[in-house]
Copies of this chain bind each other. A is one copy, B any other.
Amino acid sequence: MTRKKTGNNKYLKELNQKVLLDLVRIHGAVSKAELAEWTGLTPTAVGVISGSLLEMGYLHETGTGESKGGRRPVLLELRSESFYSIGVDIDVRTITAVLMDIKGSTVREELVEFPEGADFETAGGIIVDMVGQLTKQAAISPERLLGVGISIPGMVDSETRSVVLAPNLGWRDADLQTWLSRHFTVPVYVENEAMASAICENWIGSCQGINDFVCINIKSGIGAGIFTGGKLYRGAGGSAGEVGHIVVDENGPRCGCGNYGCLETMASTAYVVEKARKLVRQGIVSSLNTYEDTDKIGMEEIIREARKGDEASRGILNEAARYIGIAISNIVNTLNPSRIVIGREFVQYGDLVMEQVKNVVSGKALKAPASRVEILASDIGEKASMLGAAIIPLKVLFGR
C-alpha cells in the first residue's frame, strides 16, 4: 500500500509558527501568555516558537503589557522594517510595481510604459529591472525580500501558474512564472488580476474579515475574484470568476467567447464607449455631440458629461449598470456572498449608477441572499491588483 500525503497533512510544526505569527499581525502587540491562551499550546511551546520568530527577525519585543498579577509581560510585535514584498501589475500599456512592508504598507511605487503587444519575455525583463530599482532605492538586501507577486489580465493555470490566455496582452501559454523564477532568488507568484484585487480587498481594503465575498473588476473586460470561507477560490483549473461570460441578454451581440449577450458585451467600458460613439454617429441628442472627433469619446468624456447631467450619457451608464445588476443577481443566488465590491474603472462612475445596480439586484435576486449582501464600489480602485500581488508573499508567510 502506498502512503500519500493528504490535503490536511501539513507539517503541524510549521503551521504552529504561522498561526502565532498571524495572531501577532492581527492583534498588533501580544504577550506570550495570550498566545498560549488563544492557541491551547503550552507556555513552553509558545516560548520555543516565538523565540525562533524573534531570532529570524520577524518579531521584536516592545514595551510591557498589563500585568495579570505577576510581573508585566513583554509584548511581541511585527518588525515593519524586517521583510518586504513586491507586487507588479501588468496592464495593456503600463507595468506598475509597489514595494510593500511586512505590515502591508506601501514603501514606494514605480510605473513603466509597456509597449502594446509586447511578449512576456519583454514584460519579464522590465519586471526584473523594476524589482532591482525598487530594492536598490529603498536599500533592501535580497534576503529581506519575501517574494514577488505578478498580476495578469488573463487566465492563470491553477497548477503550473502559467498564463493560459491573456487576450488583451495577446499572450497564450506564457510561462512568465518560470521565466522570472530563473531571474530571482525569491519566490514568484503569478496571479489573475481580479483574484489579486480580491486578495487586496481582503487584506487592506473593504473586505477585511469578510469570509464570503466577490470582487468584480470592470474595465475593457470583466472578471471576478471570489473568496469562500475566508480563502481565495481559484476553481479546478484556475479560471473561477469568469463572470464576464454570464449571459445577461440572449439577444445581445456576439461575444469573443462564441456566446451571445455575455455581461462583458453589455457592460464593459469598451462596450460603453462603443455604444456612446454609435449613438453620437446616429445623431442622438447629447452633449457628447460637442466632441468633434467621435473616436476621441472615451469613458472620461462619458462620465464627465453624465456628471454635468447629460441624459444620453447617464442612460448609457445606467443601461450597463442594469446588466451588471442582472449578473450580480445570479452571483448572489449562486454564492450568497455577504459583500460584493466592484473595482477598477467602475470606481470612476460607481456613484452615478450604484443605485441602479442595487435596485436590479433587490428586484431579481432571491430575498434571503439579497437582504444579506452589501454592494459597494472599491475604495482602492485601480491599484488593487498591484497591491494584491504584493500581498501574496505576505499571505504565504502568515499561512493565510
Contact = CB atoms under 8 A, between A and B. Distances in A.
A363 B61 CA distance: 60
A239 B26 contact: no
Copies of this chain, tallied across the complex: 2
A330 B246 contact: yes
Interface residues of A, number: 75
A335 B368 contact: no
A102 to B, nearest CB: 18
A116 B23 CA distance: 52
Contacts of A12: 12, 15-16, 19, 39-41
A63 to B, nearest CB: 13
Interface of A: 1, 3, 5-9, 11-16, 19, 22-23, 26-28, 30, 34, 38-41, 155, 164-165, 211-212, 224, 226, 228-231, 233-243, 245-247, 249-250, 257-259, 326, 330-331, 333-338, 363-369, 372-373, 399-400
A335 B241 CA distance: 6
A87 to B, nearest CB: 23
A257 to B, nearest CB: 6
A27 to B, nearest CB: 7
Given A228-B228, A235-B369, A243 B334 contact: yes
Given A229-B229, A237-B372, A364-B259, A9 B3 contact: no
A110 to B, nearest CB: 32
